[in-house]
């Protein structure tokens, strides 16, 4: 099974309950306030925020691409500060949920629209369905907690860079390597358990679509296994499905900086959330450190002259 297929299957299966858990709402709240605290860092042009509405000029168009959108966390975070959002996800059920939520919120297709797709299939680098103008020239591309599902992160970043206008920004959230700590019975962090505790693969092979199966060898220190409580998500079948969708469970700050640079981004910055976030995966309860990264597509000579 290809990595793309594994992601489609896993996220199609979990889309219904994906973000209805209390801990998930709490994580989303933390991520929302962190990103909204510094909109300029995240590439939202200042002119679009309420702090600069002293002139009568109509608000400039600000277009967001929410890639691997899931149910639309990034769209909900940045929605109030952009004029339109377009989303792509490999899981049809996630896209259905994304669009349903937008319609429920009273937002029409011109404002918020999600489509099933994959821009990282190397055998189809320019899918026909994403050739029209509405899929190019974004001001911001946001990818929430999905880079650890991508086979080739530098290629993925490069594909997203191509979808940005010159000067546009890619902003991502993901997990920090070594940033986990187990949660005890009371939900509190277990001192001394700092390390890597998220599910990950052990030399599984993925076919990236190029015909070459990759062997991912990751050597991590293993801590104590977390206690399993949530039976529904702790079944071997669920774990297998979840693990098959994941390439690496986390990144180092330097690793993220490197793949942004490799993809040709400038003004790259990587930071972590000060407080860990409580999560549950496949029955395991833990606190994880969330990281954020951003990079700007360089403004090449001769482009965007009118704005300078
Ligand atoms: C952990 S979820 C994150 C969803 C959302 N961005 C959020 O922050 O809540 C990862 C998402 O990535 C999607 N995905 C995985 N691989 C993909 C690919 N190659 N192209 C597009 N979407 C992909 C999955 O279907 C899933 O919805």
Does residue 212 form part of some domain? no
Does residue 166 form part of some domain? yes
State the average pLDDT over residues 174-182: 96
Does residue 145 form part of some domain? yes
* Rg value, the chain, Cα: 19
State the average pLDDT over residues 51-77: 83
121 lines ligand 1 (CB under 6 A): no
Does residue 49 form part of some domain? yes
Provide the domain limits for residue 111. 3-176+250-278+289-298
4 lines ligand 1 (CB under 6 A): yes
89 lines ligand 1 (CB under 6 A): yes
**Are the C-beta atoms of 291 and 175 separated by less than 8 Å?**
yes
7 lines ligand 1 (CB under 6 A): yes
3-state secondary structure of 269: strand
144 lines ligand 1 (CB under 6 A): yes
State the average pLDDT over residues 108-125: 97
Question: Rounded CA gap, 292 and 43, in Å?
Answer: 13
pLDDT, greater one: 53 or 227: 53
Q: What is the CATH number of the domain that holds 93?
A: 3.40.50.150
CA 52 to ligand 1 center in whole angstroms: 33
State the average pLDDT over residues 292-303: 83
Does residue 259 form part of some domain? yes
pLDDT of 200 higher than 70? no
Burial code (b: 16+ CB inside 10 Å, e: under 16) for 49-67 equals beeeeeeeeeeeebbbbbb
Count of all residues that appear for the chain in the document: 308
37-46, 86-95, 213-222, 223-232: which has the highest mean pLDDT? 86-95
Beta bridge partners of 159: none
**Are the C-beta atoms of 202 and 222 separated by less than 8 Å?**
no
Nearest residue CA, atom 11 of ligand 1?
68
- Domains held by the chain: number: 1
**Are the C-beta atoms of 268 and 154 separated by less than 8 Å?**
no
Does residue 142 form part of some domain? yes
Does residue 154 form part of some domain? yes
Atom of ligand 1 nearest to the CA of 119: 20
Does residue 227 form part of some domain? no
pLDDT, greater one: 190 or 215: 190
pLDDT attached to residue 50: 52
């Amino acid at each position: 099974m290809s990595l793309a297929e594994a992601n489609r299957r896993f996220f199609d299966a979990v889309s219904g309950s994906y973000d209805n858990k209390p801990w998930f709402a709490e994580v989303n709240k933390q991520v929302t306030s962190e990103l909204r605290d510094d909109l300029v860092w995240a590439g939202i042009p200042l002119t679009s925020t309420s702090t600069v509405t002293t002139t009568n000029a109509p608000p400039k168009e600000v277009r967001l691409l929410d890639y691997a959108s899931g149910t639309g966390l990034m769209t909900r975070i940045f929605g109030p500060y952009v004029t339109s959002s377009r989303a792509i996800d490999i899981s049809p059920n996630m896209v259905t949920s994304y669009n349903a939520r937008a319609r429920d919120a009273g937002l029409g297709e011109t404002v918020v629209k999600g489509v099933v797709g994959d821009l990282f299939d190397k055998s189809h680098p320019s899918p026909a369905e994403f050739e029209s103008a509405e899929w190019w020239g974004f001001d911001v591309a946001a990818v929430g907690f999905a880079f650890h599902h991508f086979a080739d992160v530098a290629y993925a970043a490069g594909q997203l860079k191509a979808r940005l206008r010159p000067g546009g920004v890619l902003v991502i959230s993901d997990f920090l390597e070594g940033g986990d700590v187990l949660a005890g019975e009371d939900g509190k962090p277990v001192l001394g358990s700092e390390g890597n505790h998220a599910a990950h693969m052990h030399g599984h092979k993925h076919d990236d679509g190029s015909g070459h199966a990759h062997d991912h060898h990751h050597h991590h220190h293993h801590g104590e296994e977390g206690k399993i409580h949530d039976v529904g998500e702790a079944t071997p079948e669920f774990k297998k499905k979840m693990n098959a969708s994941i390439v690496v469970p986390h990144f180092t700050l330097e690793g993220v900086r490197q793949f942004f640079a490799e993809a040709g981004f400038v003004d790259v910055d990587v930071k972590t959330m000060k407080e860990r976030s409580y999560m549950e995966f496949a029955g395991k309860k833990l606190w994880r450190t969330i990281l954020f990264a951003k990079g700007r597509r360089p403004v090449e000579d001769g482009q965007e002259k009118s704005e300078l």
